[in-house]
Amino acid sequence: MIEQPVLETPLLRLRPLELSDMLAIQKAASAREIADTMISLPHPYPAGEAKRYIARQQAEREAGRSTTFTIEQKAEGWFCGVVEVRDIDREHSQGELSFWLAVEAWGRGYMSEAAQAVVRYAFEDLGLNRLYAYHMLRNPASGRVLEKNGFKQEGLLRQRVRKWGQFEDVAQWAILRQEWQNALKSESV
């Protein structure tokens, strides 16, 4: 298991998920707007679910199957959301990028900035070859975050999930380490 670092970006601090994040997660995840565009987040968010979530994520981290970061706004230290690389598959050198932001953090560019740092971490520190991500088609903001970070849409999973009693289409995206490295080279020229 690789030691999980704290990642710093111009506006954010991404640190390992801790039990002290429980109240902030419980409050933010309870917003209907968050659950509305998340594939597997329940609403109402059950009492005690944040504590269970943190315990699951810590166990997954210890098993080497997931790495979860709490996103904090650096200047004032407030909780913005969560970003993780989960379902890490060492045999095929891949993992899923998953993320969400508290409503008050929307529209500030935080997730694009956080994702950029975590993509770097996944390729450089975790040694992955491929990162993939999903989002409900009616949540184009998540697609923009992925596109800004070099992901390419690979497909559309028609009526993949049921949310609020309606079947929803889900977009699948991915980025390969070589694509990421090539983009870095292009930026430095």
Q: Which residue has the tokens 């950029």?
A: 116
Q: What's the predicted TM-score (pTM) here?
A: 0.94
- Domains within the chain, CATH numbers bracketed: 7-188 (3.40.630.30)
Are the C-beta atoms of residues 90 and 129 closer than 8 Å to each other?
A: no
Task: Indicate the SS3 state at residue 94.
Answer: strand
Position 108 scores a pLDDT of 95
Q: How far apart are CA 119 and CA 150, in angstroms?
A: 10
Task: Indicate the SS3 state at residue 25.
Answer: helix
Position 2 scores a pLDDT of 65
Name 52's Cβ contacts closer than 8 Å, sequence gap at least 6: none
Q: Which residue has the tokens 């992955």?
A: 128
Mean pLDDT by 10 residues, the chain (189 residues): 88 96 93 87 85 94 96 95 97 98 95 98 97 96 97 97 93 98 87
Which residues, in sequence order, are bridge partners of residue 172? 134, 155
Rg of the chain over Cα atoms, rounded to whole angstroms, equals: 16
Are the C-beta atoms of residues 73 and 106 closer than 8 Å to each other?
A: no
Burial class (CB in 10 A: 0-12, 13-18, 19+), 82: buried
Q: For the chain, list the strands marked E by DSSP.
A: 7-8, 12-16, 67-73, 79-89, 94-101, 130-136, 152-163, 166-176
Count other C-beta atoms under 10 Å from residue 39's C-beta: 14
Length of the chain: 189
Mind listing the pLDDT tens digit for each residue in 42-59?
888 888 899 999 999 999
Mind listing the pLDDT tens digit for each residue in 97-121?
999 999 999 999 999 999 999 999 9
Position 154 scores a pLDDT of 98
